[in-house]
Structure 1
Amino acid sequence: MDKTLTGKKRRVRRINRILGEVYPYATAELDFESPFELLVATVLSAQTTDVRVNAITPELFRRFPDSAAMADADEQELSDIIKPTGFYKAKTASLLGLSAALVQRHGGQVPDSLDELVKLPGVGRKTAFVVLGNAFGRPGITVDTHFGRLARRLGMTQQQDPVKVEREVAALFEPKDWTALSNRLVFHGRRICHSRRPACGACPVAQLCPSYGEGETNPELAKQLLKYELAPGREDLLEKMLAGASRRQLRAEGYPLSA
């Protein structure tokens, strides 16, 4: 599809602009009020859904509102709260460790640098870039499962290693676009470009996608594949979801959402 690097850049940047129009509210879908809350929520999001994490973090942060409180938490009490997110023993150890490290090394505050974040227990590059981009406004490419899949399908890279994906994709865009691109690809991957059966016929960037045809191309059948069930008589919910409204926003508007 791309004959030159310049042509590739033009195509993928156009994809980013279109997804920006389709998902104008694309942000991290974890609920948070501070860098610490986003850091903790991102650690908890490993191997589970943001919806499940958002269901337990209100109680978690009510009991442990900051790094000092969480560092002193009773291990069993903390485990009981986060158990629904899975892998709770390892996550409990990570949360206790990173909270203690924040208190001991950073005065209880979350550092705003990649080098310092990745030194915290349970924090890798993906988690660090989520926090840097969404809590501190520092550009970064966040390569999770959705991002990697879409970056390959959209012809941005053929790499499988997350760090190589991050570097190749970053080279195609201006740094100011990295965080927004990350959020938009994750939104798109969760709603339309699914892993097993992408809804190609309902995809706004289908004409720019070298992988078009891997999924359902019939528009009506593709529409049925769009994620999140609609409540009867609330077809407007679909349009809001495709526009990128977060589940928190939709719940606040009174929309009943399935898990």
Structure 2
Amino acid sequence: MNSKTKYTIIAVVVLIAIQFVRWYVEEGLETKVITGDSTVVASNQIYLPTSTTGNIIYHNNYSLSYHEKFEQAEWVAYELKRDHLSNKKFKRPLFYQDESIKTKSAHWANFKNSGYDKGHLCPAGDRKFTKQAHDETFLTSNISPQEHQFNSGIWNRLEQKVRYWAKKYNGVFVITGGVLTDNLNTIGNEKVAVPKYFYKVLLDNNNGKIKMLAFLVPHQNSNKPLYEFVVSVDRVEQLTGIDFFPQIEDEVEEKLESLDSYKGWSFR
């Protein structure tokens, strides 16, 4: 076998493998593709929302829709499974710009002396199963300006509750972001918008029966119980212009998204 024939066979095999992986993901099945020390979780793309900008970025461990006007993601989405939860401790890296975005994401320096935290949308604590997954959450496309007391207070409580549900139900699909509207305050030279509300939308489909839950939280700390911030998915869609679960059969989607009940979700 000459070298030309050998390389042709290798190329054909690679193309077949790529097509197989694409087919597997499009069929809505969960698969993991190992690339170096990175684990690409294909289920992070199963329930992606629509994008108002068309600027969707697929990272190894979460996906996002970037909104250049507001210099941040309008949503970040990922699946949090029970086996993703870990107590590993990694050194926090520096925040760095997301070069997957043509215009790059806003520089971290916009936050300097702004009085706001660099608030993770996909928390580093949800991606501690590898160092690469943890460090990927420090892209500036994954942060939004958050008041410190909010970030370390009620928002942190909600993130911890999501981990509790991920463990209890063996996984939830998470979509989160700030409500981006005109006339928001901004920080830095790039005018990074400061949302007045943050939302988190959850979906559990692990026992064959889909259930949803949505939170709309004012950008201020609160000692109120989390269930007081539960709203319908429809309410968040009205505020954001995003269709959160277009893949779900319309009749099922409309019924579930209209509910503002937290029945079926343990708040203990």
The normalised TM-score by structure 1 is 0.24
Query: Greater share of strand residues, 1 or 2?
Result: 2
1 or 2 for the larger relative contact order (CA 8 Å, sep ≥6)? 1
User: What is the TM-score of this pair, normalised by structure 2?
Assistant: 0.24
